Structure 1
């Protein structure tokens, strides 16, 4: 019991109170593990993944049948039983394995906080696709007022990673569906963000699937399309290679599109952002 369990990130651990809810047991140990009737536990609806891999679940079920549940699940007390906070796959697999009871740690947590923790726990543990992950981050920011910095601490990923993956939600609905279904990668999606016209974006997405194009090939395709669009404006002055290089360096620095418009000895720099959190991240870099 003294052995520390892995899996909860620094920020997630901070979100869960240290003290378990009082049990009708003589052991008042901190984070004491108790066996609870599996039928008394209900799932938490606030997690990003609604479907579970049958293959992964079957594998976990076989492991539980052989070795039992090694890591306890985390629950909270509700009126007629308990609600899951973390460990839904273990709970499901235990039911499949025919277990009557499952080891649990009971925490005294409010409903909103429980859902927030469930979201973060599942982002950490589940093999989410990039759209599910982006939606989960978006939910945490909008519904629970978490900052990208707080999420970053909880899931162990950089703020720029979170900002970039959330940008995928700016794609057209059809392209988002294709990424969700695994027909396009998040890399393809990030490249398609450079295509502002929704119709062209969808056409390109279909072309990527049809020709099985890599992300590199997609980047070339998008560049060629942008070149064709630029040719329609013959009066447009060719940009100085030095400015192009500066734009690229700034793009890498800020993790977003940067445009330098220069005219004679003056001009302006445009830095794109896609949310208030993204703006805050850029301002911190500038500071």
Structure 2
């Protein structure tokens, strides 16, 4: 292990560190690692080595990764026992910020990982959208547009990613009013393998129909309450029938169980008497 002590930023040294001593960074925004591309990188590393050093910081148990998790995983696949690293003079908070910023500036995060990473940067470190935009080298409007994607449900985001659709597909879905409509539209987009431009036109036509359809704001809440009441009534009847059935089983077994029920306008009073 290299000598203990902090490496100054202006005197960052290249060290070869055992892969087993490098811990993952909990603030890593990347959540998905494509097995095929990881294998291709491992093949490249086997031939040429790790061309871009990883960034790490010292911790009590070894080193914590700041940037380069994909390279580290590929190096392990390639069977490397140690990898080239630059040790940064970074505290715990700085390390997390560096990891997020470094990864958000890369081009190989998918749009969901990027949006979630920006949201994490803002939430964890109390940044405004403008501050986060400056950190990652994007405009404030670009950051705002990416954060809007997180208004889509986790299920929608999962389908978008698994189908290999783009950020433009996702942004188009936001034009629809609710997740039910979005899921229906997304199903069509996936099954018909729509291009971005065709999907945008398709969703624009659905959004136009939504705008022309009268909205039943006043009645919708009442309808929901009535539907909920119907389910509750059904559940109460099921409960009462179940109680009566089991009371009958007790009686058929020789237990003198007595069931008394009194219905009023406001309530149902149920009394079961079972002798000791």
Same fold (TM over 0.5): yes
C-alpha RMSD of matched pairs (Å): 2.7
| Aligned equivalent of 2:98 | 117
What is the CA distance between 1:175 and its match in structure 2? 1.9
Q: Describe the superposition over 1:200-235 as per-residue Cα deviations: whole angstroms up to 9, x where unpaired.
A: 2221121222222233333333333344344445xx
Note the 1:220-231 alignment, pairs <5 A.
220-231=201-212
Aligned residues: 211
Contact 1:40–1:81, Cα closer than 8 Å, also in 2: yes
Corresponding residue SS for 2:103? helix
| Aligned equivalent of 1:22 | 6
Q: 1:63 to 1:21 in 2, by over 3 A?
A: farther
Q: Which has the higher contact order (CA 8 A, sep 6+)?
A: 1
Note the 1:47-196 alignment, pairs <5 A.
47-125=28-106, 127-196=108-177
Corresponding residue SS for 2:11? coil
Note the 1:268-283 alignment, pairs <5 A.
none
What is the CA distance between 1:29 and its match in structure 2? 7.2
Corresponding residue SS for 1:34? strand
Match of 1:41 among 18, 22, 34: 22
Q: Describe the superposition over 1:76-100 as per-residue Cα deviations: whole angstroms up to 9, x where unpaired.
A: 1111211111112222222223323
- Segment of structure 1 superposing worse, 153-162 or 135-144: 153-162
| Aligned equivalent of 1:268 | none
Corresponding residue SS for 1:222? helix
Partners in 1 of 2:10 and 2:209 — Cα distance?
69
Q: 1:221 to 1:42 in 2, by over 3 A?
A: same
What is the CA distance between 1:32 and its match in structure 2? 1.6
TM-score when scaled to structure 2? 0.67
Task: Give the greater-gyration-radius structure (CA).
Answer: 2
Partners in 2 of 1:185 and 1:39 — Cα distance?
36
Stretches of structure 2 lacking an aligned partner (at least 5 in a row): 215-276
Contact 1:21–1:108, Cα closer than 8 Å, also in 2: no
Stretches of structure 1 lacking an aligned partner (at least 5 in a row): 1-19, 234-287
Partners in 2 of 1:227 and 1:68 — Cα distance?
55
